[in-house]
Structure formats: structure tokens, C-alpha cells
């Protein structure tokens, strides 16, 4: 498995498996187990997904040593703040049945993120977290966090796919030494992405699917990617992207698909900020 080196020297697999929207806990456990058997070593979950326990069970069931797994989870908005973050982190540890987290992310750029970051810095210094980072932060929010804190975020996990390529954000993150990680690499199937003419035509050149082309494109941009599927055949297909390389011409064609706009929602939309900030969740 290819890796990227984070700004603290930690090696992170460039391809992982995400469990967003796998609500059936038995299914989630089986999927994570199958992912580990396939060869994935990066597993991405979050408290708000409400499947951390299933992820922990799969890891313990597997034949893979814990130290060989790069485990990511995230802090939800309602747990923002110094004291709440410490409590939420301990709950995640218990649900995941582990004594450390490889990467802990602030899931959304809302609430008392600075109190959260101070708590995360302390947990990082104590060795309970190997790296800390953020998710869904625009460059201005990342820069503000960097300026006012001691530890620079190791990762920013943001919506990134062929229709929203985040070119300026990618450049900024690289300059700041923050690893770009993609969520939603397949845009959750929007815009009929798997049948897109450009992506399928490129795939035919290499005897690959549009999905494999997308993953390869992200990997060649040095973007960490965490595709999700509940089908083992597709899981294996997504993993099989290291035996070909896209040409400069291919990459230029994919670049033409960029709309520069989210396909989901803007984190700068006041209505969405209120919705995420006031949602009542039992986690």
C-alpha cells in the first residue's frame, strides 16, 4: 500500500475504506472485516455515523495487528469544546475498543473548535492520538486555526471528486503542509458519474472502470481517498488501482469536469450551519 507522510512524520495509507451511511451494524462489521481482508489498512469512521462499535469489532475479529491499521474517527459538532471533546474522545475509544486513535478530526468547522483543538493537542501530546486534523474546513478556517494554535492540522478531509476538484484548496493545503483527504470521491453517484463519457473512455484505455480512474486520479494528486461500498467485489475493484498510471492528457481531460461547486451543501450556508449546530443526536 502506498502511503503519504503527514507533517508529524506519521505514515498514512493513501487509499482507505470509509463507513459513512453504513447504518446496519452487522453489515458494517462485515464490511470492515472484508476490507481488512482485502488489504485496506486505513479505516475511516466518525462518532456521528453511529457505527464505531461495529468498526472496533471488525478490527478485533481480523487477523491484522492493530498497529498495522490506521484508524480515523471524528468529533461531532455537539461535542465541541474543551471538556466535551475529552469526554467524546474517551467514548469513541470505548466504542472502538482501542487505546489510541491514529487520526482524530474535528468533523465540522462549527462550535467551539478552539476549545476542541486545545483538548486534542493535549491528547496528542499524551500519545492517545497519533495525529490530529480537521474536516470540512475551508482554507480561511484552516489558516486561522494554524495561526492561533501550536499544532498544525495533519489532515483536512473535504468533499473532493471530479466535479468539485478543490484545486485552490489543494494548493493551499500543500503549501501549509496539511494533507488533503477526499470524502465523497464518487460524488455519491451524482451526475451519473460512473457512466461519464470522459471517465469511461479513459478507463477503456487501461481496462479499468470509471471508479478506478477516479481513485487513480486522486492518488496521483497525492490526495488520500476513502471510498465506501458494501459490495466486496467493488471493494476489491477499488483496491486494484496501483497497477496503472494516468497520463498528463488523461488528467487534463478530467480537469475539464470541474464545476468548482459542491454537489451537496455549502458549509458557509447559514441554514446549514444552524441545522448542523442544533441537531439533536444521541452519540
What would the 3-class secondary structure string for the chain be? CCEEECCCCCEEECECEECCCCCCHHHHHHHHHHHHHHCCCEEECCHHHCCHHHHHHHHHHCCCCHHHCEEEEEECHHHCCHHHHHHHHHHHHHHHCCCCEEEEEECCCCCCHHHHHHHHHHHHHCCCEEEEEEECCCHHHHHHHHHCCCCCCCEEEEECECCECCHHHHHHHHHHCCEEEEECCCHHHHHHHHHCHHHHHHHHHHCCCHHHHHHHHHHHCCCEECCCCCCHHHHHHHHCCCCCCCCHHHHHHHHCCCCCCCCCCCCCCHHHHHHHHHCCCCC
Give the chain's length.
Answer: 283
80-99: average pLDDT:
98
Looking at domain 3-277, does it have CATH number 3.40.50.1820? Answer: no
The answer to whether residue 107 scores a pLDDT higher than 80 is: yes
pLDDT of 283: 72
Question: Does the pLDDT at position 281 exceed 80?
Answer: no
Query: pLDDT tens-digit profile of 1-17?
Result: 899 999 999 999 999 99
Tell me how far apart the alpha carbons of residues 134 and 153 are, in angstroms, rounded to a whole number: 7
Q: For the chain, what is the mean pLDDT? A: 97
Per the CB < 8 A criterion, the answer to whether 273 and 110 are in contact is yes
Q: Residue 107, annotated ligand binder?
A: yes
The mean per-residue pLDDT over the stretch 157-166 comes to 98
What is the rounded average pLDDT of the residues 70-82? 97
Picking from 183, 234, 238, the residue whose alpha carbon sits closest to that of residue 216 is: 238
Catalytic residue check, 49: yes
Instruction: Give the pLDDT confidence score for residue 278 in this predicted structure.
Output: 85
Residues 6+ apart with CB under 8 A from 123: 86, 89, 104, 129, 132
pLDDT by residue (tens digit) across 46-56? Answer: 999 999 999 99
Mean per-residue pLDDT for 242-258? 98
pLDDT band at 23 (very low <50, low <70, confident <90, very high): very high
Average pLDDT over residues 13-38: 97
Q: What is the pLDDT of residue 277?
A: 85
Distance CA 141, CA 144 (A): 5
pTM of the model: 0.96
Query: How far apart are the C-alpha atoms of 153 and 133, rounded to whole Å?
Result: 4
* Annotated catalytic residue within 40, 49, 124, 164: 49
Amino acid at each position: 500500500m502506498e502511503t503519504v507522510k503527514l507533517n508529524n512524520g506519521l505514515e498514512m495509507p493513501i487509499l482507505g475504506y470509509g463507513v459513512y451511511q453504513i447504518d446496519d451494524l452487522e453489515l458494517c462489521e462485515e464490511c470492515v472485516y472484508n476490507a481488512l481482508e482485502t488489504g485496506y489498512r486505513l479505516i475511516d469512521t466518525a462518532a456521528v455515523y453511529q457505527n464505531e462499535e461495529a468498526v472496533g469489532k471488525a478490527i478485533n475479529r481480523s487477523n491484522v495487528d492493530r498497529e498495522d491499521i490506521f484508524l480515523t474517527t471524528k468529533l461531532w459538532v455537539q461535542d465541541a469544546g474543551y471538556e466535551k471533546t475529552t469526554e467524546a474522545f474517551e467514548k469513541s475509544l470505548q466504542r472502538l475498543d482501542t487505546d489510541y486513535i491514529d487520526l482524530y478530526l474535528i468533523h465540522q468547522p462549527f462550535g467551539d473548535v478552539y476549545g476542541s483543538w486545545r483538548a486534542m493537542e493535549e491528547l496528542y501530546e499524551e500519545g492517545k492520538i497519533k495525529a490530529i486534523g480537521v474536516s470540512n474546513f475551508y482554507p480561511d478556517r484552516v489558516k486561522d486555526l494554524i495561526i492561533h494554535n501550536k499544532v498544525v492540522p495533519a489532515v483536512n478531509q473535504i468533499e473532493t471528486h471530479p466535479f468539485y476538484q478543490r484545486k485552490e484548496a489543494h494548493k493551499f493545503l500543500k503549501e501549509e503542509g496539511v494533507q488533503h483527504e477526499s470524502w465523497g470521491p464518487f460524488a455519491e453517484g451524482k451526475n451519473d458519474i460512473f457512466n461519464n463519457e470522459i471517465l469511461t473512455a479513459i478507463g477503456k484505455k487501461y481496462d479499468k472502470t470509471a471508479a478506478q480512474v477516479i481513485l487513480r486520479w486522486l492518488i496521483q494528486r497525492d490526495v488520500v481517498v476513502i471510498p465506501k461500498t458494501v459490495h466486496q467485489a467493488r471493494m476489491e475493484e477499488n483496491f486494484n488501482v496501483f497497477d496503472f498510471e494516468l497520463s498528463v492528457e488523461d488528467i487534463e481531460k478530467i480537469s475539464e469536469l470541474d464545476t468548482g461547486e459542491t454537489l451537496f451543501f455549502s458549509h458557509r450556508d447559514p441554514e446549514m450551519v444552524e441545522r448542523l449546530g442544533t441537531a439533536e443526536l444521541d452519540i
